[in-house]
Structure 1
Amino acid sequence: MCAASTAICWIRSTKSCSAAATPICWAAASSAKPASISTSKSTWRRRYICGEESALIESLEGKRGNPRNRPPFPVTHGYLQQPTVVNNVETFAATTLIALHGGAWYQAIGTEKSAGTKLLSVSGDCERPGIYEYPFGVTVAQVLEDCGARDTQLPR
Structure 2
Amino acid sequence: MKINWGTAIVLVFIGFISFILFFVIRMNTDKKFEHDLVTEDYYKQELAFQEEINAEKNAKALKSNITIKKVSEGLLITFPEDINSKKLTGTISLYRPSNKKLDFQVPIKLHSSELLVLKNKLIEGRWNITVNWEHENTSYLFKESFTY
Query: What TM bracket, shorter-length normalisation?
Result: under 0.3
> Which is bigger in relative contact order (C-alpha 8 A, separation at least 6)?
2
| Structure 1 or 2: more strand by fraction | 2
After TM superposition, the score normalised by the length of structure 2 is: 0.23
After TM superposition, the score normalised by the length of structure 1 is: 0.22
**Larger Cα Rg: Structure 1 or Structure 2?**
2
